[in-house]
Structure 1
């Protein structure tokens, strides 16, 4: 996805700057051409030599780069780089840097370039929790968003100060995927489309304490919701219990049981242009869940029987109601995958079905990668190589966009 893309990275003087070599390396591994500019204070946390070695390009530090550079002239370096870049990423962006960007202040290499660029600007704020929540910082962030900048919010965790709270640099995959999304979605090919995505497991109650569930992490569905939102669509994400942050610009609807997911999908399917069922919905639910905890003392044998009934099939109900949008299902199979997926595709009148096998290396529950086969109602079978779930999400959405 990033092959031959020009990514310009601005590094400022925050402690999280030491992680930027990892970001540079990931972009390079994906085929991008990376150039880095640094503020003088950034050198206190990461060396220009490290970033130069990993990027394969010389580093610009300060407002007046070395006159002897082979690539840039000291008087017009910012113009040349601004015209070269497909996207500019500023990370870490300190509170000081954010204030400068919001007011158009250009006193170092990073802020000067931010004024000159014509491409999308992605900003990753990192700072201590109280600095992040200060009204001035929040006002500046709002202003930058209004100016069209993409803000990747800081994560919550232990900070350099010893405090715990918002302010940490997001994980490298989050930063990389955001930039990928910006580059891919320059034309926002799903603008104005309403897409319903389901994710995660369902929990079927046995009693107030116990439930029948599954190992779904929700990562695939959340990746689809994130990618669809970045491509301009109006996304409703119906999700079971997962430990994942809500993607930006996505409306999240939390559910627990298969029945709750059924009701939510039916509600939001009205006027939806596409429904993508990535959730692992239970096929069976306890027929008579107990309203009180089942005590082992009440069970007078060494075995315990639980009567189960079938849950309602959401995809089948949608097709029987003659849903007219694009309908996509997922099939998790450990044997006879293609045959079983094709059968499900036909029975439920799907436009596409995404097949995967959790036993494959790199495709298990909770993994950040997946290996899938996309089968269309026209009979086309496409086996994709192992890739990140975000990249798979965009592969799937490419096919959705072509069918609108």
Structure 2
């Protein structure tokens, strides 16, 4: 695949070197098109050496090759990382004052922007309007991460991790449709932990890999994603707003708050069904004899509560149609247990998968059957967890009004 990597004049330009390396090492041919200001941060020899391709910033360089037309015409993907507020404005208004903006105008392939700027610039109404315009035209604009910016400033505006930008780009190159554009989506991932004492907890083996794949894929398909992560050690997916949670109570609070105006809620997290009735304030000491039993109490059923809230809103004639997706991890009688859970929970889709040794939890692959409330069932054969994510979003998109 031929990739054009546009680099603009921000301090995060040095991070684009890592993104370039990820593309080239995965077999893509990359042409770097920096702006003149970008070359103040990283010089032309660096880009040429890392890409193995000529580097130019001006339409007058190698004019006999007509680069301002040819580069965009021949690309399979254009990604601008970092993209400054200035570049977003130029792209939104169709300006063509240098090689990169000309390339954006001539490209008929997917375009991904990874903005990086100070918080005030990102939140300015002009920037928000430019982002909205680009998204309406089909571009993928990845929301920046929250973190340390230039100097002592902290806030939204940080360039996401290059590896996570790369993951979004791979999904776009695979032909991810833009069928979730403008949709607000909530995904939960990981596994909740219920404290026994300050040291010990009741938990499960969920790694969060499937939930994170769902979040990344939704971003690539154009959605605005809130990811509620319970005890996950994975890097934040580029473009998603990540909310951390530990216990079921914390996860419930975060999911319900984000779900209030969401179009889709996907409960991929493995939520603990029970918690200790009492949390010991100090570590339980080992003594002679058998340990005392730990009484348990039921946790709230978040998936069922989401279904009830949606039903209440419909009864009042309030809210908007919302698609709810649950997950069921089963060890035996997988489909029978899944169908019973689907009937109890009141969700639209239930992703049922078998778990156990080297199955689902912590593995890069998965297999599942997606059950629908209308009786349909779609089998997803074992493969990368991205395949399950794509299957889920295909079914969700078909149900969105």
> Does the alignment pair 1:373 with 2:368?
yes
Instruction: Give CA deviations for 1:164-183 in whole Å, capped at 9, x if unaligned.
Output: x9999754541223335666
Number of the residue aligned with 1:245: 236
> Does the alignment pair 1:305 with 2:293?
yes
Range that drifts further, 113-122 or 308-317: 113-122
Unaligned stretches of 5+ in structure 2?
A: 315-321
Cα drift, residue 400 of structure 1: 0.5
Matched ranges for 1:312-391 at <5 A? 312-318=300-306, 323=311, 325-334=322-331, 337-350=334-347, 351-355=349-353, 357=355, 359-360=357-358, 363-365=360-362, 369-377=364-372, 378-389=375-386
Q: For the structure 1 residues 95 and 142, does the alpha-carbon distance in structure 2 shift closer, same or farther, using more than 3 Å as the test?
A: closer
2:282 to 293, 318, 321: 293
Tell me the SS of whatever aligns to 2:246.
coil
- 8 Å CA contact 1:240–1:255 kept in 2: the answer is yes
Cα drift, residue 270 of structure 1: 5.7
Number of the residue aligned with 1:22: 21
Range that drifts further, 325-334 or 231-240: 231-240
Separation in 2, partners of 1:155, 1:88: 24
Cα drift, residue 78 of structure 1: 1.3
> Does the alignment pair 1:82 with 2:72?
yes
Instruction: Give CA deviations for 1:306-348 in whole Å, capped at 9, x if unaligned.
Output: 1122323333455567847433222334555455444434454
Cα drift, residue 359 of structure 1: 3.6
Number of the residue aligned with 2:247: 257
- 8 Å CA contact 2:168–2:216 kept in 1: the answer is no
- 8 Å CA contact 1:345–1:353 kept in 2: the answer is no
Separation in 2, partners of 1:195, 1:125: 21
Q: For the structure 1 residues 39 and 273, does the alpha-carbon distance in structure 2 shift closer, same or farther, using more than 3 Å as the test?
A: closer
Range that drifts further, 263-272 or 252-261: 263-272
- 8 Å CA contact 2:197–2:284 kept in 1: the answer is no
Cα drift, residue 357 of structure 1: 3.5
Q: For the structure 1 residues 121 and 374, does the alpha-carbon distance in structure 2 shift closer, same or farther, using more than 3 Å as the test?
A: same
Tell me the SS of whatever aligns to 1:89.
strand
Unaligned stretches of 5+ in structure 1?
A: 53-57, 68-72, 127-131
Instruction: Give CA deviations for 1:95-149 in whole Å, capped at 9, x if unaligned.
Output: 99899989999776445534655666534478xxxxx659889989879747637
Q: For the structure 1 residues 137 and 382, does the alpha-carbon distance in structure 2 shift closer, same or farther, using more than 3 Å as the test?
A: closer
Cα drift, residue 401 of structure 1: 0.7
Number of the residue aligned with 1:70: none
- 8 Å CA contact 1:15–1:45 kept in 2: the answer is no
Matched residue count: 371
Cα drift, residue 211 of structure 1: 2.5
Number of the residue aligned with 2:319: none
Tell me the SS of whatever aligns to 1:79.
helix
Cα drift, residue 278 of structure 1: 0.5
Separation in 2, partners of 1:206, 1:310: 14
Number of the residue aligned with 1:129: none
Separation in 1, partners of 2:168, 2:354: 25
Calculate the TM-score normalised by the size of structure 2: 0.68
- 8 Å CA contact 1:8–1:34 kept in 2: the answer is yes
Q: CA RMSD in A?
A: 4.9
Separation in 2, partners of 1:115, 1:51: 23
Calculate the TM-score normalised by the size of structure 1: 0.67
- 8 Å CA contact 2:380–2:388 kept in 1: the answer is no
> Does the alignment pair 1:279 with 2:269?
yes
Separation in 2, partners of 1:112, 1:87: 15
Cα drift, residue 376 of structure 1: 2.3
